[in-house]
Amino acid sequence: MSLPRIAIDAMGGDEGVRVMIEGAAIARRSHDRFKFLLVGDEQRIKDALEHHPNLRAASEILHAPDVVSGDEKPTQALRRAKTTSMGMAINAVKTGAAGGAVSAGNTGALMAMAKLALRTMPGIDRPALSALLPTLGDNDIVMLDLGANTECDARNLVQFAIMGAAYSRIVTGRESPRVRLLNIGSEETKGTEGLRDAAAQLKAAADELSISFDGFVEGDKMLRGEVDVVVTDGFSGNIALKAVEGTARFVTDLLRRAFASSIRSKFGFLVSRPATELLKHHLDPNNHNGAVFLGLNGVVVKSHGSASAGGVANAVAVTARLLEEDLTQRITADLARLGADNLRSVPRAAE
């Protein structure tokens, strides 16, 4: 089976070329059927590839003279898309030179370039930013939107649920993902009119969409492992994500401080080290790195700018798996199953 190439913006992220190339090399060890298009400064990429002959043998370099800076406004970045490593990586997906693109660069610029170049899929009004979060259960959860759309109506939320369920089937193997809408309470009367309208639509279409839908989930319950997909608008989703990430850092810093507080505590750390290492691994964002822009005509994955080589490898692996499982086709099939008319019948909130 011939698989599409993965385009990598080698210049994005805090560490730039070295970490991006090292991460791609790690990912290729478990996805050795893939070829890569490495986009950026040609000489710097060649130098980095000297340490990774396995990746070098499977890669082509596309020289890009410019780089999108971390603080650059999306409108400014769009004007330079044709010459930047980020813009050229996305354009490779548009032209079919690659099936997916990975970048650790400026999120706003990446979203703007991807949406303009690839456009949204038929039946999808807006793309959504989605990521995997760890839970207390055996499954990770798919959460969306995480910041691409600050205001969403009921139709947007229904579309997000369809895309999130398709993604969840790939990562969990569950044929009927458990989908919930994030809300301030689990009662049917709670939340905005848009949330209640979306809940009614999803409840009515649950069988057609092959999802298990049982209304709302509160923020303190979404990581218990009892849900597979959490759907919300980008404003609430970004706040929830940052709260989860901040809590994880708080817990690890608190434990570090507690274990360093006395000789007895240090001894306790040595005894409990296997458990604390497991906790550290579970909470490490690098192990869940790779946020996906769902709803575009192509796969685009955003890596954390501060990700380690292992984190970049995880983002590349996410891209590879979505291409292997043909996520875009799965979403298209689910939209067709529900029917465009059903989606358009949801009242749109005032823009």
Per-residue exposure over 290-308, b if at least 16 CB sit within 10 Å of its own CB, e if not? bbbbbbbbbbbbbbbeebb
User: What is the domain range of residue 135?
Assistant: 120-292+308-351
- What share of the chain in percent tops pLDDT 70? 88
Report the C-alpha gap between 267 and 233 in whole angstroms: 46
Q: How far, rounded to the nearest angstrom, does the alpha carbon of residue 188 sit from its chain's CA centroid?
A: 29
Q: How far, rounded to the nearest angstrom, does the alpha carbon of residue 285 sit from its chain's CA centroid?
A: 12
Nearest to 145 by CA among 209, 68, 204, 232: 232
* pTM of the complete model: 0.85
* Longest alpha-carbon distance in the chain: 67
Residue 247 confidence (pLDDT): 77
Say yes or no: 113 and 124 in one domain. Answer: no
Report the C-alpha gap between 78 and 90 in whole angstroms: 12
Q: Is the pLDDT of residue 347 over 70?
A: no
Segment 92-120 shows an average pLDDT of 93
Say yes or no: 145 and 264 in one domain. Answer: yes
Nearest to 12 by CA among 102, 90, 79: 102
Q: Is the pLDDT of residue 82 over 90?
A: yes
Residue 207 included in any domain = yes
- Number of compact structural domains in the chain: 2
Residue 301 included in any domain = no
More confident residue, 313 or 247: 313
Please state, in angstroms and as integers, the Cα–Cα distance from residue 121 to each residue in 112, 152, 284, 335, following that order.
15, 17, 33, 10
Least confident among 10-14, 35-39, 122-126, 274-278: 274-278
Asked whether the CA dihedral 79, 85, 90, 93 is positive or negative, the reply is: positive
Q: Is the pLDDT of residue 241 over 50?
A: yes
Residues 142-191 have pLDDT tens digits of 999 898 888 899 999 999 999 999 999 988 888 899 999 999 988 888 88
DSSP conformation letters of 78-94: HHTTTTBHHHHHHHHHH
Residue 38 confidence (pLDDT): 96
Residue 2 confidence (pLDDT): 66
Say yes or no: 59 and 69 in one domain. Answer: yes
The CATH number that applies at residue 6 is 3.40.718.10
Q: Which two tokens stand for residue 320?
A: 């590879």
Using 50, 70 and 90 to split pLDDT, how confident is the model at 33?
A: confident
Q: Is the pLDDT of residue 305 over 70?
A: yes
Residue 348 confidence (pLDDT): 41
In sequence order, which residues have a C-beta less than 8 Å from that of residue 308 and are 6 or more positions away? 19, 23, 286
Among 27-31, 127-131, 271-275, the range with the most confident prediction by mean pLDDT is 127-131
Say yes or no: 139 and 57 in one domain. Answer: no
CA-based Rg of the chain, rounded to a whole angstrom? 21
Using 50, 70 and 90 to split pLDDT, how confident is the model at 266?
A: low
Residue 300 included in any domain = no
Say yes or no: 63 and 143 in one domain. Answer: no
Residue 6 confidence (pLDDT): 95
Q: Is the pLDDT of residue 283 over 60?
A: no
Say yes or no: 176 and 70 in one domain. Answer: no
Segment 20-40 shows an average pLDDT of 92
More confident residue, 279 or 289: 289
Query: Considering 97, 118, 139, which residue would you say is the last residue of a domain?
Result: 118
Say yes or no: 10 and 96 in one domain. Answer: yes
Residue 251 confidence (pLDDT): 74
Q: Is 144 helix (H, G, I), strand (E, B) or coil?
A: strand
Helices (H), the chain: 17-30, 42-49, 53-56, 74-79, 85-95, 107-118, 154-172, 193-209, 234-259, 263-283, 309-324, 327-338, 340-344
Query: Considering 118, 142, 163, which residue would you say is the last residue of a domain?
Result: 118
Residue 12 confidence (pLDDT): 82
Residue 26 confidence (pLDDT): 93
Say yes or no: 102 and 235 in one domain. Answer: no
Q: Which two tokens stand for residue 264?
A: 């007895």
Report the C-alpha gap between 33 and 75 in whole angstroms: 37
Report the C-alpha gap between 305 and 308 in whole angstroms: 9
More confident residue, 254 or 44: 44
DSSP 299: E
Least confident among 11-15, 119-123, 223-227: 11-15
Query: Considering 94, 118, 142, which residue would you say is the last residue of a domain?
Result: 118
Residue 89 included in any domain = yes
Using 50, 70 and 90 to split pLDDT, how confident is the model at 289?
A: confident
Residue 224 confidence (pLDDT): 87
Using 50, 70 and 90 to split pLDDT, how confident is the model at 351?
A: very low
Residue 297 included in any domain = no
Residue 192 included in any domain = yes
